[in-house]
Amino acid sequence: MATSAQQSTPLNPVQIHLLQMFNYSKSEESLNELKNVLSQYYQNKLKN
């Protein structure tokens, strides 16, 4: 069976910050709120 080698790449500052933010989301409700805020932010960025 062939296996593919996976390379790991370092996280960039945005990814690290997002991981830190999601670390504070201890409930499903707070996780959903954070996801909605991020989605709205990027939707607005695409419109402008």
Question: Looking at residue 5, what is its pLDDT?
Answer: 67
CB contact set of 19 (below 8 Å; sequence gap of 6+): 11
pLDDT by residue (tens digit) across 11-27?
999 999 988 887 877 88
Where does the pLDDT of residue 4 fall: very low under 50, low under 70, confident under 90, or very high at 90 and above? low
What mean pLDDT value characterizes the chain?
A: 85
Please report the pLDDT score of residue 37 as a whole number.
92
* Alpha helices (H) along the chain: 13-23, 28-47
Parse the chain into domains and list their residue ranges: 13-47
